[in-house]
């Protein structure tokens, strides 16, 4: 039995602007995707005992049939495209990334399964071919095929990677609230804008010299409707700012709130204050940028 283990990392959105609705029903967006330390663990087993088909198991269960799991759909697409003869594949997903939190857990799992199966079967798949499969699965799935931080435009599949490492401790708070992406996009009010979209990439780079501009210029269009429906999420954000967060914001359209903290002590104090929620603390990355 061949076995492969991979980590599927979550993401946060640093800024999110909804530009307009497209003719295909999707929306054009302007955002920055960045991985964080929170991850699911994916184990792919080929030809395990007593298995004669493709099988997905999530622990804990996410409460949907395996045929609706993006990782299952991703595996089927890839196996069929490259005519992989061995269909006896077991995919085990140990879930740590909450669903409906705006952290991209399902998308990351799907992209990781695509990459994992390519590696396991040594398939002649080019990155553009994988991206073509990924966009069939979800707008942010292509992002998870490559490492790094990227400006995402179009429906999220047009990616511009750039050199930047978040120079902060990152606290993620995930209240037990599931927010449907479908609901969020159906209810967002798109205001006609006369100005060009903000350059979130440049704001991040400029913030290395002036960190105050993060709070002043980074925004998420979903916050108004999400906070109106779930006021406690606005309170979580405010608690982070009271504990010296440089930036605190909703991630994507989901319920997770993240905060950037210069001091590990401040991050841990905020975490302690919000201990009745599920929290995750990502340490400051090595080789961090210097903040003046």
Closest Cα partner for 82 from 147, 30, 129, 23? Answer: 129
| 264 and 137 both lie in a single domain | no
Annotated catalytic residue, options 40, 109, 131, 140: 140
Strand partners, 179: none
Give the position of tokens 């991209």. 104
Tell which of 161, 180, 211 closes a domain: 161
Per-residue pLDDT band for 222 (boundaries 50, 70, 90) equals very high
Containing structural domain, residue 193: 164-282
Each residue's pLDDT tens digit, 15-36: 999 999 999 989 999 999 999 9
Lowest mean pLDDT among 168-182, 186-200, 235-249: 186-200
Q: Do 100 and 120 share a domain, yes or no?
A: yes
Q: How many domains is the chain built from?
A: 2
CB of 34 closer than 8 Å to CB of 11 = yes
DSSP run (H or E) holding 142: none
DSSP code of residue 46: E
**If DSSP codes are grouped into helix, strand and coil, which group holds residue 72?**
helix
Yes or no: say if 52 and 89 are a contact pair by the CB < 8 Å rule: no
- From the candidates 11, 131, 237, 271, give the one annotated as an active-site residue: 11
**Which one-letter DSSP state was computed for residue 64?**
S
In this predicted structure, the answer to whether residue 176 has a pLDDT above a threshold of 80 is yes
- What is the reported pLDDT for 290? 45
Residue 280, SS3? strand
The verdict on 169 and 139 lying in the same domain is no
Using alpha carbons only, what angle is made at residue 75 by residues 70 and 79, rounded to the nearest 5 degrees?
150
Last-in-domain residue among 129, 161, 193 = 161
Residues 171, 196: one domain? yes
The answer to the question of residue 291 being in a domain is no
Active site annotation includes 176: no
pLDDT in tens, 52-90: 689 999 999 888 999 999 999 999 999 999 988 776 899
Domain assignment present for residue 287? The answer is no
CATH number at residue 25: 3.30.230.10
Do 134 and 266 lie in one domain? The reply is: no
Q: Assess whether 11 carries a catalytic annotation.
A: yes
């Amino acid at each position: 039995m061949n076995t492969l283990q991979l980590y599927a990392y979550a993401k946060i959105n640093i800024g999110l602007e909804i530009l307009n609705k497209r003719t295909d029903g999707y929306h054009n967006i302007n955002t920055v995707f960045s991985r964080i330390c929170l991850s699911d663990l994916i184990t792919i087993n080929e030809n395990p005992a007593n298995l004669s088909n493709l099988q997905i198991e999530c622990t804990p269960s996410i409460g949907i049939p395996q045929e609706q799991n993006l990782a299952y759909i991703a595996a089927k697409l890839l196996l069929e495209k490259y005519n992989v003869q061995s269909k006896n594949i077991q995919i085990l997903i140990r879930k740590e990334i909450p669903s409906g939190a705006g952290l991209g857990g399902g998308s990351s799992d799907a992209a990781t399964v695509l990459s994992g199966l390519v590696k396991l079967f040594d398939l002649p798949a080019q990155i553009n071919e994988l991206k073509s499969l990924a966009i069939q699965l979800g707008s942010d799935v292509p992002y998870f095929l490559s490492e790094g931080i990227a400006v995402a435009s179009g429906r999220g599949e047009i990616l511009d990677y750039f050199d930047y490492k978040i120079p902060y401790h990152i606290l993620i708070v995930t209240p037990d609230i599931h927010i449907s992406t479908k609901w969020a996009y159906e209810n967002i009010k798109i205001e006609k804008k006369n100005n060009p979209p903000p350059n979130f990439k440049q704001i991040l780079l400029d913030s290395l010299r002036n960190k105050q501009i993060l709070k002043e210029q980074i925004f998420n269009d979903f916050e108004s409707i999400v906070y109106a429906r779930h006021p406690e999420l606005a309170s979580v954000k405010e608690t982070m700012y009271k504990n010296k967060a440089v930036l605190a914001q909703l991630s994507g359209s989901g319920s997770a709130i993240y905060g950037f903290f210069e001091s590990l002590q401040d991050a841990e104090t905020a975490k302690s204050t919000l201990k009745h929620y599920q929290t995750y603390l990502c340490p400051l990355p090595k080789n961090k940028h210097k903040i003046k």
